[in-house]
Amino acid sequence: MIVVDTSGWLEYFFDGKNADVFAPLVEDTRRLVVPVICLYEVFKKVSLSVDEPRALRAVAQMKLGRVVDVTEMVALSAARISLNYKIPMADSLILAITWAEQSVLWTQDEHFKNLPGVEYREKSIS
């Protein structure tokens, strides 16, 4: 199973330099797990950067994968992850869902670099 974090979704939706890395992942909807927090973050960012109709289209595409809610178990696991790895709440929730779903997290977010179960790709600046 595959989880693409918010940075990967935004790279894909805005056709960034690493969009080709994330495209096959987000388009493999049978294997795609989508943490509900990613819906929040993508909707907010796309709404701010473009407009709400485009944000709603982005969320609709994300929902082609299996959306996973934050449960009590995930919340407590995320808190442990945050304490152990010193990463922010949203990132901790994404990683907790990734681990609970026995998935691999694909990201450009440096908070995840070198963590177990993570495929990190450095964000291309140019």
Give the predicted TM-score (pTM) of the model.
0.94
CB burial string 85-119: b at 16+ within 10 A, e below = eebeebbbbbbbbbbbbebbbbbbbebbeebeebe
Q: What is the pLDDT of residues 85-125, one digit of tens each?
A: 999 999 999 999 999 999 999 999 998 999 999 999 998 77
Domains observed in the chain: 2-116 (3.40.50.1010)
Record the tokens describing residue 84, joined without a space: 């152990």
Taking only the tens place, the pLDDT of each residue in 41-74 is: 999 999 999 999 999 999 999 999 999 999 999 9
Q: Are 97 and 32 in contact (CB under 8 A)?
A: no
